[in-house]
Structure 1
Amino acid sequence: MSSRSDAVDPARLAQWCKEHLGSPPVDEIFRSGHLAVVVGLRLADGRDVVVKIRPDSPRIAACVEIQRRVFQAGYPCPQPLTDAAPLGGDIATAEAYVPGGASLPSSDQAPRAFAEAFARLIRLAPRPAEVSTLEPAPSWAAWDHAEDGLWPSPEGPDVNLNNLDEVPGAEWIDDAGRRARERLRASGSEAVIGHCDWLAGNLRWSGDALLVVHDWDSMIADSEAVLVGLAAALYSTVDVDELATVADTERFLVAYCQARGRDFSADELERSWAAGVWTRADDAKYQHTVGQPITSLSESEARERLRRAGTDRGPS
């Protein structure tokens, strides 16, 4: 449990629930969190809810509105119960608690199941112009950031991913990120809205049917090819701690195109592969910088993914 989670004042949280949910909490079901504090609560009126507390950002209002609209359209996500509202110096939202479900569908159906769920979300999400700002995108999806240096500032602790003098030895990661970013900047298309953190930990399944999608703070606007590429690189097939292999990503992309009823163009397909390299390389660079084992990307895998992205060569 993070120190940030410990810092949430129970009395202030109870008052927030009374004001915005009409009932105080009587029991805490769970508490977790890293970038945000997520607290499951049982209210006095019998409802089970989840309250999410995080630093204020203008993008949160749009994320809540997207979640509300796709819920109303029948998509399996928790029902939003409040708008974004201040809680101390932070901002909080509440949603219905949806427990249960398996972390993965059956392994032979995982690419299809994850891809079809993503395609349905893209279809049901509002257009970017219909909601307020979704900027800035989370760092792992912010390939088009305007900060100095290759890498944007990560969420959470103050870490400089661009200081090669402090933590040398990750030149191949920088090369992969740079080449992916150059490929993504070479072309583009109209933005749509989708989920940029399509990790197995954010979805739950009932057999091979999607039960619920969590983490609606991870909504961004980007081209369909980029959003699909992020998802295809991040999902899991046999273990929630193992990201998609190159073959898994290819199967996801095929299944997604089948679900949408139209193949990607050659350019769109290359941009999907490039987006996957960016997000995996961003995570790998963070892992290297803070001294963790690099698990998000290997040099050989980066080389193959970059080849499929249409870059001239893989990491040197």
Structure 2
Amino acid sequence: MSPHTRDVDPGHLAQWCRDHLGSPSADELFRSGFLSAVIGLRLADGREVVVKIRPDSPRVAACVEVQRRLFLAGYPCPRPLTGAAPLSGDVATAEAYVPGGAALPSAEHAATAFAEAFAWLIRLAPAPGEMPALDPAPSWANWDHGGDGLWPGPEDLDGVPGEVWIDDAGRRARDLLRDGGSDAVIGHCDWLAGNLRWSGDTLLVVHDWDSVIVADEAVLVGFAAALYSTVSADELATVEDTQRFLDAYSRARGREFDAGELRRSWAAGVWTRAYDAKFQHAAGRPVTSLSEDEARERLRRAAEGPRKR
């Protein structure tokens, strides 16, 4: 995922808050973001909010509606305070600020905690037919983008030479993902540890609701199982971490994945991490999202089917 710096005029932001939240911004609490500018603010009336600014897209309003429905259903996500509204050529939304919490649950419970939180989200999420369109998925989840090349997105990743094994892993994963499928559900495609906060082993809050997509449940679970971490918000799941997540998710949903679902889960994890690896290589950065040996092992597990217990 490439960083995009967005300059936000403080006066325009203050006026946006006055217009849409009933009070102008007074103090900035923090600023972060890659594909978006995420700004924590204290308003003049004392409320603390988070305003997120990004390029306009019809899916932004749909993502906010999914977040709103999940909040009302009792899922621990920030309460949306506005819909999507223009700000300086982009679109902005606001939500309640949820501070605190730890980056990770206890190490011995991490796989189960992350998997149960994801299963809870899938259970509570509205049906895709009830929501406006959530297309297109973010690039790292858009394996079925329909374009001519392997990799989606505005960057010409297909034209970047070198590290041929990354393209091979992505292509093999995509071929496995094309084989079969089940009913689509709504879920979160960026289940990084940095997007969740914990109170002990209890989920406190999940962030980044622009990462809501519609996909096969097994694919969504595969993304999550490959992206979370048991040790650091700066690291990704090992192969064994992914296996533990898949086992815990099956227990949480009350049914094991069949051979086809497991194949697609493992393949989805390879595809999303291969996309990030390709992006890192194209940007001239160290490739940390996936190694050749790990891609080989994950694809082997995709092919072998359910483990014998």
Task: Please give the range of the TM-score, normalised by the shorter of the 2 chains.
Answer: over 0.9
Report the residue type matching 1:260 in the other structure.
R
25-34 or 203-212, which deviates more:
25-34
C-alpha displacement at 1:3, in angstroms?
A: 7.2
> C-alpha offsets along residues 5-25 of structure 1, whole Å, 9 cap, x if unaligned?
4x1011111111011000111
SS in 2 for 1:257: helix
SS in 1 for 2:303: coil
SS in 2 for 1:20: helix
C-alpha displacement at 1:170, in angstroms?
A: 1.3
Task: Find the counterpart in structure 1 of residue 9 from structure 2.
Answer: 9
Between the aligned partners of 2:210 and 2:236, the Cα distance in structure 1 is 21
Q: TM-score, normalised by structure 1?
A: 0.94
Task: Find the counterpart in structure 2 of residue 215 from structure 1.
Answer: 208
Aligned residues of 2:4 and 2:36 also touching (Cα < 8 A): no
Task: Find the counterpart in structure 1 of residue 106 from structure 2.
Answer: 106
Report the residue type matching 2:42 in the other structure.
R
Report the residue type matching 2:192 in the other structure.
L
Task: Find the counterpart in structure 1 of residue 240 from structure 2.
Answer: 247
C-alpha displacement at 1:198, in angstroms?
A: 0.1
Runs of 4+ in 1 over 6 A off after TM superposition: none
Task: Find the counterpart in structure 2 of residue 126 from structure 1.
Answer: 126
> C-alpha offsets along residues 113-148 of structure 1, whole Å, 9 cap, x if unaligned?
000000000000001111111111001100000122
> C-alpha offsets along residues 268-310 of structure 1, whole Å, 9 cap, x if unaligned?
0110000000000000000111110010000000001011111
> C-alpha offsets along residues 6-62 of structure 1, whole Å, 9 cap, x if unaligned?
x10111111110110001111111111221011111111111000000000111111
SS in 2 for 1:162: helix
C-alpha displacement at 1:169, in angstroms?
A: 2.1
Between the aligned partners of 1:24 and 1:245, the Cα distance in structure 2 is 45
Between the aligned partners of 2:209 and 2:232, the Cα distance in structure 1 is 22
Report the residue type matching 1:99 in the other structure.
P
Between the aligned partners of 1:277 and 1:31, the Cα distance in structure 2 is 31
| 2:261 pairs with one of 250, 268, 284 | 268
Between the aligned partners of 2:242 and 2:269, the Cα distance in structure 1 is 9
1:143-222 mapped onto 2 (5 Å cutoff): 143-153=143-153, 159-164=155-160, 168-222=161-215
Flag structure 1 segments of 5+ consecutive residues without an equivalent. 312-316
Report the residue type matching 1:302 in the other structure.
A
Flag structure 2 segments of 5+ consecutive residues without an equivalent. 305-309
SS in 1 for 2:45: coil
Between the aligned partners of 2:110 and 2:139, the Cα distance in structure 1 is 26
Between the aligned partners of 2:31 and 2:164, the Cα distance in structure 1 is 38
Between the aligned partners of 1:290 and 1:108, the Cα distance in structure 2 is 36
SS in 2 for 1:34: coil
Report the residue type matching 2:5 in the other structure.
R
Task: Find the counterpart in structure 2 of residue 314 from structure 1.
Answer: none
Report the residue type matching 2:220 in the other structure.
L
Report the residue type matching 2:284 in the other structure.
G
Q: TM-score, normalised by structure 2?
A: 0.96
Report the residue type matching 2:172 in the other structure.
R
Cα-Cα RMSD:
1.1
Between the aligned partners of 1:203 and 1:66, the Cα distance in structure 2 is 17
Q: What's the % identity of the aligned pairs?
A: 74
Report the residue type matching 1:228 in the other structure.
V
Report the residue type matching 2:91 in the other structure.
I
Between the aligned partners of 1:47 and 1:282, the Cα distance in structure 2 is 39
> C-alpha offsets along residues 162-192 of structure 1, whole Å, 9 cap, x if unaligned?
014xxx3211000000000000001111100
**Residue 289, structure 1, aligned to residue 288, structure 2:** no
SS in 2 for 1:28: strand
Between the aligned partners of 1:25 and 1:53, the Cα distance in structure 2 is 15
> C-alpha offsets along residues 212-235 of structure 1, whole Å, 9 cap, x if unaligned?
000000000000000000000000
Between the aligned partners of 2:270 and 2:157, the Cα distance in structure 1 is 16
Between the aligned partners of 2:31 and 2:4, the Cα distance in structure 1 is 12
Distance 1:17 1:236, change over 3 A: same
